[in-house]
Structure formats: C-alpha cells, structure tokens
Amino acid sequence: MKKRWLPRPAPMMELKQVPDLHGLPSSLALLLARRGYEGESLERYLDPDMACLSDWRRIGGMEEVAGRIASAVRGSEMILVHGDYDADGITATAVVYLALKSLGARVDYFIPDRFDDGYGLGESSIQACLDAGAELMVTVDCGISDSEHVRVLAGMGVDTVITDHHQPGEEVPPAVAVVDPAMDDGAHYADLAGVGVAWMAMKGVFDLLGGDPEYLHTLLQLVAVGTVADVVELTGDNRILVSEGMAVLRREPFPGIEAVSRSASIDIRRATSTDLAYYIGPRLNACGRIGHAHEAVRLLLASEEDDVNGLAAKVDANNRLRRKLDGELEEQVLRRTGDPEGRRCIVMADGDWHRGVIGIVASRLVARFGVPALLIALEDGMGFGSARSVPGIPIHSILSDIQFRLGIMESLGGHPMAAGFRVIPDNVPWLREELCKVMTEDRWDRYLGSVVYIDGRLEEEDYSAGMARALDLMEPFGQGNRMPVWIARGAYPVTWKPVGRDGKHLSCSFRLGSGTVRAIGFNMADRQSMFSGRVDLAFTLSLDTWRNDGSVQLVLKDIRKHRSIEP
C-alpha cells in the first residue's frame, strides 16, 4: 500500500538558532532540538538519571497504597498479588511478589486465565483469595474497573489495594487504597505502565519498612521489559526506568530472562529496547495468549537452581504456536479486507478466530492500512474484541462515547491507543456502523492512512559507525521516542537481490554522494522493479550486525521513485 511521507510532528519544527552540539553529530543535534530537547532537557534526555525520577509520594493515592501494604507486611497478613496475563501484568506480578518476599512477607500470586476467567477480577479471583487465606489483595495492571468484586471481597473481610494504569470506569472501586496515574492526566508520570506503577508502590513500601534499595534496584530489569512490551510513552519517568532497567538487565540479568534471551538468540549483555519489544516481550505475552501466564511468571521468578532452560523452552513453544496462529489469522483477514481504498476503519468478526492473537493482527492491520482496526472472536454466544488505533485517534475514548450513548458492549477497558471489549454477536453490525459513522468526521483526516514519518536528512559523513553509535544515545526507543527515520533523495541502485528463507527480503546497495551503502528491506523483494533509475529512500541507520565488520547499513522503511520536489 502506498505510504505518505510526512515530517514527524515535533514541538520545535522551526528552529530560531543553531542548537548547541553537545559533542553530537550536527544531524543528531538538530534532530533532538526539533524534538524539543535543548539545554537542561537535552542533558536529562542524554543522561536519564534515577535522581530525576518522580517522588512516589507525588503520585495520587500512592501514600495510602504503600502504607496499607507496609501495614500488611508488619502484621504478617497473607497478601495475594493479582496480576494480568500480558507481559506488563506478568512482570508487575513478579516485581511485587519478589519485593514483598524480600521483606519477609507472606505472599502468593494469582493471574486469571484469559479464556476461562477473562480480564481483571472475577469469580476466580475471589476463589484464589479464599484458597490462599488472603487478608489483603494487591492488584497490578488491573482492577480499576472492578467495583463489584472489590465489594464482594470486602464483604468477606478481604481488603483490596489497586495499582493500575488503565482508564478508570464510571466508578472508582471502593478499595482501601487506589493508585492509577491515568487519573492524574497531564502529570509527567501519567504514562507509567502497570509494572512502573507496581515498582513505584514497592519503592514506597521499601522506604517505609527500610527494605534493601539495591535489591529493589535489580527489579528494574522487569520494569524495563514490561514497560517496553506495553508500548507506553518512553519519555519522562518511563525513559528513566527503562534506561536504568536495561543497564541492570545487561549487567545482572535474572536467570529466567537470560534463558528466554538465549532461546531467542539474543545476547542479553548487549540487549536493546528493540530486543525487548520484538523478542523477549512477545515470548512472555505468548504464554497468556496461548497457554497460561503463570508459565512466564515461574520463569521470571526462577533461580539458578531451577530448570530455567526447561521453563524457557515451554515459553518458546507457546511463542512458536502463537506465531503460527497469528500468521494464519492475518492471511484470512487480509483476504477479507480486499481493497482498502477509502476505508476509514476495519471491524471484522469470526467464529473461528483464536482470541489470544486478534490483538496482534489488529496492530498489523493498523500498521498496514493506517486506520483503526477492531477484530472480534466469536465464542459461545459472546464476542471478544481487540481494538488498535493510529496516533491521534483515541480509540478507547471513541468506543467509550459509543458505549455511553448506546450501551451495546458488555464490557470495555484499555488505553487511548488500544482497547479490549466484549460484545454480543447481534450487536457487532451496530458497533461497526457507529464506529464508521464517527470515523467519517473530518477531524480524523490528518491521522488516517499509512504514513512514514521523516525526521531529517543525513550528511554524507554521517553514514558511519560513529553516527550509528551516537544514535544509541537516544535509546531506549519506542512510543514517544521513535528511532529516527532519515531520507535520502536520488539514490542510485547498485546491487539488489532477494534474500531470506522464502526470498521475501531485499538485500541491496546504493550510491549516495561519493560512497556506496548497503541496505536491507524486510518484505520488500517485490520492490526490485523500481530500480531502473534513481530512487528516494526512507530508512533507519544502524551497524551491520550480520557482517559485524564495523560497517553500517540502511534498514529501509519505504522506497519510491525519485521526485524532484521536497517531500
């Protein structure tokens, strides 16, 4: 599908003066200035320091949360940590369980089954509390929309403390303490993932009880994995937590994380945010999608004495099955999508789809077509849906407005860019009609369509290992801190050939100025017909780790025939 090339939206697109280079290549200094980093903010960006992390006491509700948990530890109350089955919830569960264990607490954990129990608190949660003899339940990455079950637990004499980051429902649950930065909209910590909120809560508990700060610091590696996997903004506190967490991960990884990295052929001592996003996070997620999330939790909690390789093999097997299922589903959906021209949203439902992988495929549809996508798996008279959106179109808010007006969904939760919901099959056409009606509004035009955002142009001397290493200063990359995409206009194709097991990828080289640079285009083998003349390239720059000879390569994002005008 043809993509539009647009300048990446940034706070300071027009610069009134040349930015201070701070020892950086001029192209990189200019890029960071355009993204709004200069002076002190640039120094903080380049050196994300734990000393600049928000004080946990400033987060609304956190003092009450930390105080109640600390009281339970002092009083030897039985604590049940209730998590969620995605990578964010899995890592958050491990953080709180390990932190409380280190304080000598009586603690157990529970994660519901995606298929038998569903998301959040339910009857299985109540039974888990009874089985554990819990006096306090601490939720992580869930709970903010579960008033009914909080009341049931209170009637049983079980207190509930909620730590979450999802959008609250119409009523804040009547728990003994609640912290959810989503309710502090505009605060720089409001984008914390569930695992970030959980770690902050444990920071409060450790401060109150005199816990070992060095041990709490080691848990930041779990925060890094869960935060990157949950695709939250990697700015502010998240950038600090992930940067420090990745440093811990490379230096002293937990045995389970090291084992799952080996299974993914990742050198954990040199891991990047890309490795977390594309290899480690998906393997943890696969357990909750295909099997049960407790398999991933057991791996994260494993010690040197445990069979970490055996646990990692189970996690990897879940991931292989997940990849098979989502690949088959993607093929089916693309056949049904047909010509996307003029389409402003995608809403599809089917009784043969595996609901554990519909969210993954919905994300791929968004990336491919540049429109919001809702996929719904129909099972036993109920539709289980996953919604994903493009930047600028808050799908959760849109669906919340539809629900407020029409009440056609049985449940709804999520983030601005992603949502999960349940809907009876008879209401699916109604939901499709309403969403399509909303998406016809002119205000969404600027966000629709497949777009490649361009950050700038490199100088000829920037095609170097030094520039590639300088770009590493921008790590961790992710939502809110995207890897820069550069443009090269009028490149001359020199060599090209299809590569990969199925010949889908494109290995090529281009003459740029007086030099020649190698490039790789994933799933771009069908673009060879464009190489009869000069072309324009959109790409990221990286070291060529395949040859590992210190040279650089372009990772192509798009190719188009050379145009004589600026993009």
pLDDT of residue 17: 63
The residue assigned the tokens 């993607």 is 330
d(CA 535, CA 562): 4
Q: How far is CA 559 from CA 60, 229, 520, 536, in A?
A: 48, 29, 12, 6
pLDDT of residue 20: 67
Query: Does residue 373 contact residue 352 with C-beta atoms inside 8 Å?
Result: no
Q: Mind listing the domains of the chain with CATH numbers?
A: 4-11+452-561 (2.40.50.460), 52-217 (3.90.1640.30), 340-447 (3.10.310.30)
Phi and psi torsions of 54, nearest 5°: -55, 145
Query: Does residue 319 contact residue 348 with C-beta atoms inside 8 Å?
Result: no
pLDDT of residue 16: 58
pLDDT tens digits in sequence order for the chain, 567 residues long: 678 898 988 776 566 565 666 788 889 989 998 898 888 888 899 999 999 999 999 999 999 999 999 999 999 999 999 999 999 999 999 999 999 999 999 999 999 998 888 888 999 999 999 999 999 999 999 999 899 999 999 999 999 999 999 988 788 999 999 999 988 876 778 899 999 999 999 999 999 999 999 999 999 999 999 999 998 999 999 999 999 999 999 999 999 999 999 999 999 999 999 999 999 999 999 999 998 999 999 999 999 888 999 999 999 999 999 999 999 999 999 998 877 677 899 999 999 999 999 999 999 999 889 999 999 999 999 999 999 999 889 999 999 999 999 999 999 988 788 899 999 999 999 999 999 999 999 999 988 888 899 999 999 999 999 999 999 999 999 988 999 999 999 999 999 999 988 899 999 999 998 999 999 999 999 999 999 999 999 999 999 877 777 789 999 999 999 976 554
Q: How far is CA 152 from CA 84, 129, 169, 172, 227, in A?
A: 20, 11, 18, 15, 31
Amino acid at 436: C
Extract the tokens encoding 146: 């579960």
3-state class of 4 per DSSP? Answer: strand
What is the arrangement of strands in the sheet containing 418-423, beginning at the earlier edge strand? 346-350, 373-379, 382-388, 418-423, 411-414
Q: How does DSSP classify residue 357? A: T
d(CA 423, CA 377): 10
- List, in order, residues 6 or more apart from 102 with CB less than 8 Å away: 211, 212, 215
